[in-house]
Amino acid sequence: MKTKTKLTVLSLSLTSFILVGTSGCQTHIAGMTLPSGHYLEHPPQYVPPSPFFPISKELASMETGANNNQTATPPSSLPAPLPGPGGMGAPAPMPGN
């Protein structure tokens, strides 16, 4: 009878150790909390890199505007200068005279 009890206790303790070892719980070793090995079974998550300029429509419109300014033809001639304070050809009055 004692051997049957010892065999039952031994089988229950062996079963409990197997269940604890394969359950995937965290372990505490040397003051560190380490994850179980099951995290290696999950597929990795992919996060695509963000674009260089996050507002792509605004960048496209800015580039289009810059291209339009570069392709514009310069004016052929400048307008005539405006007359000075004394009129055309007359020298400006000196203050204090």
Segment 14-31, tens digit of pLDDT:
888 787 666 656 666 778
Confidence at 93, pLDDT banded by 50, 70, 90: low
Distances 71 to 39, 78, 79 between C-alpha atoms, Å = 58, 19, 22
User: Is residue 89 scored above 60 in pLDDT?
Assistant: no
Can you give the pTM of this predicted structure?
Answer: 0.26
pLDDT for res 75: 61
Q: CA 85, CA 92: separation in Å to the nearest integer? A: 6
